[in-house]
Structure 1
Amino acid sequence: MPRPSLRILLAFLALVPLLASAQRDARQSFDLAVLSAPTPVDIDGRSRLVYELHLTNFAAEPLRLVRVEAIDDARPASLQALAGDALASALGRPGLDKGADRSVIAPGMRAVVYLDVAIGQTLPSALRHRVEFVAANGGSPSRVEGGQVAPKPPAALALGPPLRGGPWIAIYSAEWERGHRRVTYAVDGRVRIPGRHAIDWVRIDENGQSFAGDGQVKRNWFGYGADVLAVADATVAAVRDDVAEPSAVSAGNPRVAIGDASGNYVALALADGRHVVYEHLRPGSIRVRRGDRVRRGEAIAALGYTGESTGPHLHFHVADAGLPLAAEGLPYALEGGRTLGAYRSFDAYSQGGPWTPAAAAPTPARGFPVPFAVLEFPPAPR
């Protein structure tokens, strides 16, 4: 058996004190994991990575999060740093009562940090994460690094309009507790966020109203019964059309069983492996069956009020599987519409006022709309 060279032996002996020091300074803390590799999404002309860092406390004591960083592993450079109120706003704690201190993670508990990282034009080859923490009862801060992940390149295929005419408001917010972005499902032994990039499309009039007259009457909503369109040439992957609508918009509890929350839906399989999911469709309106081929712009169903819904709208998202819950949400780019403007917030929309017009003339929409953007899609062909 060959003997190690003197150079190798000396290098190993020099390393021994460092290893011993690392072992001496070791401390039980967090397991860091990114469960779904992020893909860039273009929002308002800027490329971003929208994903989650899962932190599980394996120490025997509660730990308090102080700072979380996302780092470009190749440079290295900090891409996003969260502390104080910004960290508190980005923290999710499954099962924790509202109002509790989310920064304190008990032994065996998990926290989720919802990250939104601006990356410019160059996709990092790898990310890692640095977490600073202290013992909940005080003490000096410690750090741990991990959660390495390689981002995936964006899909080349842009999607067409899911609806016709307008105006339509794109309702979503990354900060909502029960918004799609922060709703996790562990329905088959794995936790996922199918609605990571979901949008609820609600039709409004020129004054920002969603309905005329009595809002309890479904047909008084401007979007109710609107044609829902295939956004690309695709194959129908899944269909459900057995969920009844409440008799009125205010009837019953909008919270339903988890398996019925999507209401009636259609899932389309795209050629690039992604799936498009349309939810809350009107009963009896679905025009396709599993295995059918559809063309971009083809009407496949009608907008309705089934499942967990506070009013007639189209829930639209893209994922890695054609199941409403057991899939990871993926970003996408929409084309074919015009951006008319946007609301500053959901409250501004819900109060029934007009939106803020775009600074210039309405421009072609290409990419992912900003929260509460107001878009107009091409009308039905004559």
Structure 2
Amino acid sequence: MLRPLALAVSLYLLAVAAPAHAAAPVDSFDMSVTQAPIPVRVEGRQRLVYEVHLSNFGQSEWALAELRAIDAATGASVAAWSGGELAARTQVIGRAAAPTASVKPGERAVVYLEFEATQALPKRLRHQLSFAALDAAAGKSAVSASATQTVVGAELDVGAAASLQLAPPLRGGPWVAIYAPQWPRGHRRVFYTLNGRARLPGRHAIDWVRVDADGRIAKGDADIAANSLGYGAEVLAVADARVAAVRDGQPESVKVSDNPRHDFDQAAGNYVVLALADGRYATYEHLRPGSIKVREGDAVRVGQTIGALGFTGDSTGPHLHFHLADGRTPLASEGVPYGFAGFRLLGYYPQLDRLGSKPWQALSGEVTAERVDELPGSNSVVQFPR
């Protein structure tokens, strides 16, 4: 048995004998996907929409270089994001809503991902992140000369597409399907933390706004909510279902410009939630006060009128907010994908600032107008059956 002095000398000799280039612990990210993606079809292509969460457990600020989605079965890269595109998809929790290219020690970032494929999607995905330490001497504006590191993780199964396709939530049209995944404060990027868990209910949400052939959204003074072309339109059950939740009685402002900010739990305004037969929940928000025709527990049939389009809650103008989720509480559920059984695609708004003043861009001959079992593309203009 070594005496204390001899033991100390032995440890010292071992330290001296160790190679100077012995690897130090590698700073790295914890990578996770909290909501596994389920494919949805958009204009004939399969789309996946999900988020990768990155937590920096290291001691360095890391610049994000590239993120790859990889087919776990073959090792083939199916999508990749780097540079400015990766930064635009990344948001550090707690920072201002602006794109970022780096994550500091102790920070958690969310990378918002969407990609499409004309062929079959992989059944299982993993992700590879490349990153490098920022050069503090350069004012943290440049990547240091240290080698880029990689971490592989966030492996997940891709879910099966839903078999139940939905009937229209509204009649006729034209209706603009307003959403865009890149908007910093759009539904796609707004988490809500309730009951000890952060969720993203609007992952696949659409705001439906009625327009006319000239692209106008109102008749007369557009600041009067009731002048909106869609105001009061009948809102329809998208499937045979049971009413899971209802809220009515929230008032609405006469003028759009007078609509105040609402408390967190009042943002959805008056709403109806339908429990569908396949376990998903259809949520309709901002309904007109006193228009709701169903009560919790009622059975409804597809196409049945359940309320009217209004202007309650946090809203920049009368519209129907519609999404599907995995629960009955609008802000405490995860948004899940869906598609409509059929609609007619009329065109698109490439720049949404034209909405209300100019016609949409007409559909090109490359895309079939009659669409079946899919979700409308971002800011597309559609006609539902009457």
TM-score normalised by L of structure 2: 0.89
SS where residue 256 of structure 2 aligns? coil
What are the Cα deviations for residues 151-210 of structure 1, in whole angstroms up to 9, with x where unaligned? 110110100000011110000000001100111111121111110000000000110000
- The range that moved more, 80-89 or 201-210, is 80-89
State the number of aligned residues. Answer: 354
- Aligned CA distance change for structure 1 residues 147 and 362 (closer, same or farther; 3 Å): closer
SS where residue 84 of structure 2 aligns? helix
User: Residue 135 in 1 paired to residue 140 in 2?
Assistant: no
- Aligned CA distance change for structure 1 residues 44 and 364 (closer, same or farther; 3 Å): closer
Q: How far is the alpha carbon of 1:336 from its aligned partner?
A: 3.2
TM-score normalised by L of structure 1: 0.89
Q: Residue 203 of structure 1 corresponds to which residue in structure 2?
A: 210
Q: Residue 107 of structure 1 corresponds to which residue in structure 2?
A: 105
Contact 2:91 2:97 in 1 (8 A): no
User: Residue 271 in 1 paired to residue 277 in 2?
Assistant: yes
What are the Cα deviations for residues 58-78 of structure 1, in whole angstroms up to 9, with x where unaligned? 001211111111111000111
Q: Residue 31 of structure 2 corresponds to which residue in structure 1?
A: 32
SS where residue 250 of structure 1 aligns? helix
Contact 2:281 2:328 in 1 (8 A): yes
Q: Which runs of structure 2 are paired with 1:203-352 in the superposition (5 Å)?
A: 203-253=210-260, 255-350=261-356, 352=357
User: Residue 358 in 1 paired to residue 363 in 2?
Assistant: yes
Q: How far is the alpha carbon of 1:278 from its aligned partner?
A: 0.2
Contact 1:305 1:313 in 2 (8 A): yes
Instruction: Specify the code of the residue in structure 2 equivalent to 1:153.
Output: A
Q: How far is the alpha carbon of 1:29 from its aligned partner?
A: 1.3
What are the Cα deviations for residues 216-235 of structure 1, in whole angstroms up to 9, with x where unaligned? 21111000000000000000
- Aligned CA distance change for structure 1 residues 156 and 57 (closer, same or farther; 3 Å): same
Q: Residue 96 of structure 1 corresponds to which residue in structure 2?
A: 95
Match of 1:161 among 163, 168, 171: 168
Q: Residue 18 of structure 1 corresponds to which residue in structure 2?
A: none
Q: How far is the alpha carbon of 1:365 from its aligned partner?
A: 4.8
CA–CA distance in 2 between the matches of 1:265 and 1:207? 30
Q: How far is the alpha carbon of 1:213 from its aligned partner?
A: 1.0
Q: Highest Rg: 1 or 2?
A: 2
Q: Residue 380 of structure 2 corresponds to which residue in structure 1?
A: 373
Instruction: Specify the code of the residue in structure 1 equivalent to 2:130.
Output: E
Contact 2:32 2:52 in 1 (8 A): yes
What are the Cα deviations for residues 89-115 of structure 1, in whole angstroms up to 9, with x where unaligned? 21122221255x612211111111111
Identity of aligned residues (%): 49
What are the Cα deviations for residues 337-367 of structure 1, in whole angstroms up to 9, with x where unaligned? 21111111212325x1111122247424540
Contact 1:160 1:231 in 2 (8 A): yes
Q: How far is the alpha carbon of 1:277 from its aligned partner?
A: 0.2
Contact 1:37 1:152 in 2 (8 A): yes
Instruction: Specify the code of the residue in structure 2 equivalent to 1:327.
Output: S
Instruction: Specify the code of the residue in structure 1 equivalent to 2:215.
Output: G
Q: How far is the alpha carbon of 1:37 from its aligned partner?
A: 0.6
Instruction: Specify the code of the residue in structure 2 equivalent to 1:44.
Output: E
- Aligned CA distance change for structure 1 residues 26 and 130 (closer, same or farther; 3 Å): farther
CA–CA distance in 2 between the matches of 1:312 and 1:41? 27
Q: How far is the alpha carbon of 1:24 from its aligned partner?
A: 4.0
Contact 2:97 2:184 in 1 (8 A): no
User: Residue 146 in 1 paired to residue 153 in 2?
Assistant: yes
Q: How far is the alpha carbon of 1:26 from its aligned partner?
A: 4.5
CA–CA distance in 1 between the matches of 2:222 and 2:353? 18
Contact 1:339 1:365 in 2 (8 A): no
CA–CA distance in 1 between the matches of 2:342 and 2:115? 27
Instruction: Specify the code of the residue in structure 1 equivalent to 2:361.
Output: T
What is the Cα-based RMSD across aligned positions, in Å? 1.5
CA–CA distance in 2 between the matches of 1:141 and 1:364? 45
Contact 1:79 1:118 in 2 (8 A): no
Contact 1:199 1:317 in 2 (8 A): yes
Contact 1:48 1:120 in 2 (8 A): no
Contact 2:88 2:100 in 1 (8 A): no
Q: How far is the alpha carbon of 1:133 from its aligned partner?
A: 0.7
Q: Which runs of structure 2 are paired with 1:44-193 in the superposition (5 Å)?
A: 44-99=43-98, 102-137=100-135, 138=144, 139-193=146-200
Instruction: Specify the code of the residue in structure 2 equivalent to 1:281.
Output: L
Q: Residue 201 of structure 2 corresponds to which residue in structure 1?
A: 194
CA–CA distance in 2 between the matches of 1:74 and 1:120? 19
- Aligned CA distance change for structure 1 residues 98 and 236 (closer, same or farther; 3 Å): closer
5+ residue gaps, structure 1: 1-22
Instruction: Specify the code of the residue in structure 2 equivalent to 1:299.
Output: T
CA–CA distance in 2 between the matches of 1:61 and 1:36? 28
Contact 1:340 1:363 in 2 (8 A): no
CA–CA distance in 2 between the matches of 1:196 and 1:115? 11
CA–CA distance in 1 between the matches of 2:353 and 2:84? 22
Q: Residue 6 of structure 1 corresponds to which residue in structure 2?
A: none
